[in-house]
């Protein structure tokens, strides 16, 4: 199977087109059959619903152990009033800012397709704030992808450096393991009355690593620019020296990432 994560920031209410909904349920079951795909879905932003109504909303209503059911919260971990209680994890979904330039070209292409070739723009301006469980779901899937990327880098680094394989790549794709990592990230925040034990607080886990990686990354970029400069001048002696220094910085970065991956393994 050529993918690790499926993010579903949408809801469909059960209707007379039962055949299509059955196909959705069967496809989700097929994706999780071997336990190596992580499925993230948005819970409906309709407040509290009865169990009967919740079961009529797809994909969150599909009974599958592989589904990560996500609802939106404020930046302080307070569940949004529009979110019900049929969720597994909370992530930021209230007035979430979009990074400038993120997805602009993809958005423009989609607008052209849906609007018959005419891109109106304006509705989804870069930097606009967005609210909803669909936003939180995208962040949840992105977080899982970041965790998997750290683990994958560690595995590759172990092989390149001939080090003991302390991280096993396949494990991280198991829904139970990723669910445990999310739960630990949520529980680590829940230390005082009022904290929601289901709110996944990312920053405590990634803050220290991010602060250490940023200056090292800038040094690597600087070395890249210098290497290109001296390659153009055909001064290979300087180039080799710069490449060694660059590799030393990458070694330092990988030590930080490996430590981060180790923390996921023990969560």
- Which position has the token pair 């996921």? 264
Assigned domain for 106 exists: no
* One domain for residues 191 and 88: yes
Cα–Cα distance measured from residue 126 to residue 106, given in angstroms and rounded to the nearest whole number: 12
Q: What is the pTM of this model?
A: 0.81
Estimate to the nearest angstrom the gap between the alpha carbon of 74 and the chain centroid. 18
* One domain for residues 197 and 240: no
1-22 per-position pLDDT tens digit: 578 899 999 888 877 667 777 8
Cβ-Cβ contacts under 8 Å for 171 (sequence gap 6 or more): 177
* One domain for residues 220 and 196: no
Assigned domain for 84 exists: yes
108-152 per-position pLDDT tens digit: 665 666 555 544 433 444 457 888 899 999 999 999 999 999 988
According to the model, what pLDDT value does residue 161 have?
Answer: 80
* One domain for residues 144 and 242: no
* One domain for residues 79 and 152: yes
* One domain for residues 160 and 214: no
* One domain for residues 11 and 73: yes
According to the model, what pLDDT value does residue 2 have?
Answer: 72
Assigned domain for 168 exists: yes
From residue 152, how far is each of 56, 227, 254 by CA, in Å? 37, 27, 12
* One domain for residues 139 and 260: no
141-175 per-position pLDDT tens digit: 999 999 999 988 888 888 888 766 666 666 777 88
* One domain for residues 150 and 254: no
- Which position has the token pair 């994706």? 31
Rounded to an integer, the average pLDDT of 173-194 is: 79
* One domain for residues 235 and 183: no
* One domain for residues 230 and 137: no
**Boundary of a domain, candidates 157, 181, 201:** 201
The answer to whether residues 182 and 68 touch, using CB atoms and an 8 Å cutoff, is yes
Assigned domain for 56 exists: yes
Cα–Cα distance measured from residue 11 to residue 127, given in angstroms and rounded to the nearest whole number: 25
Which of 69-83, 96-110, 232-246 bottoms out in mean pLDDT, i.e. has the lowest?
A: 96-110
Checking DSSP bridges between strand 129-130 and strand 96-97, what pairing results, if any?
Answer: antiparallel
Assigned domain for 64 exists: yes
Cα–Cα distance measured from residue 162 to residue 246, given in angstroms and rounded to the nearest whole number: 20
Q: State the number of CA atoms in the 13 A half-sphere of 25 facing the CB.
A: 14
Domain that holds residue 26: 5-95+131-201
* One domain for residues 183 and 239: no
Query: Long-range contact list for 213-221, CB < 8 A, 24+ apart?
Result: 213/253, 213/256, 213/257, 216/249, 216/252, 216/253, 216/256, 217/253, 219/249, 220/246, 220/249, 220/250, 220/253
**Boundary of a domain, candidates 201, 224, 239:** 201
Assigned domain for 249 exists: yes
**Boundary of a domain, candidates 149, 170, 201:** 201
CATH number for the domain including 20?
3.40.50.200
């Amino acid at each position: 199977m050529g993918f690790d994560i499926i993010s579903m920031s949408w809801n469909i209410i059960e209707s007379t087109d039962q055949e299509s909904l059955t196909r959705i349920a069967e496809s989700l079951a097929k994706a999780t059959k071997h336990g190596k795909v992580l499925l993230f879905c948005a819970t409906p932003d309709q407040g509290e619903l009865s169990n009967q109504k919740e079961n009529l909303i797809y994909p969150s209503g599909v009974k599958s152990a592989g589904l990560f059911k996500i609802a939106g919260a404020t930046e302080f971990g307070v569940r949004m009033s529009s979110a019900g209680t049929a969720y597994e994890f909370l992530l930021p979904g209230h007035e979430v800012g979009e990074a400038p330039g993120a997805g602009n070209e993809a958005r423009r292409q989609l607008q052209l397709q849906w609007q018959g070739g005419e891109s109106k723009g304006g509705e989804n301006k870069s930097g606009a704030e967005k609210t909803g469980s669909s936003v939180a779901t995208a962040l949840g899937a992105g977080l899982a992808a970041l965790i998997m990327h750290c683990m994958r880098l560690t595995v590759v680094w172990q092989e390149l450096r001939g080090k003991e394989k302390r991280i096993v790549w396949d494990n991280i794709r198991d829904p139970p393991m990723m669910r445990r990592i999310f739960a630990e990230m949520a529980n680590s925040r829940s230390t005082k009355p009022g904290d929601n034990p289901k709110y996944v607080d990312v920053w405590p886990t990634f803050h220290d690593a991010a602060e250490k990686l940023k200056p090292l990354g800038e040094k690597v970029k600087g070395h890249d620019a210098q290497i290109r400069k001296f390659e153009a001048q055909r001064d290979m002696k300087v180039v080799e020296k710069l490449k060694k220094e660059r590799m030393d910085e990458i070694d330092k970065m990988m030590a930080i990432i490996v430590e981060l991956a180790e923390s996921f393994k023990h969560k």
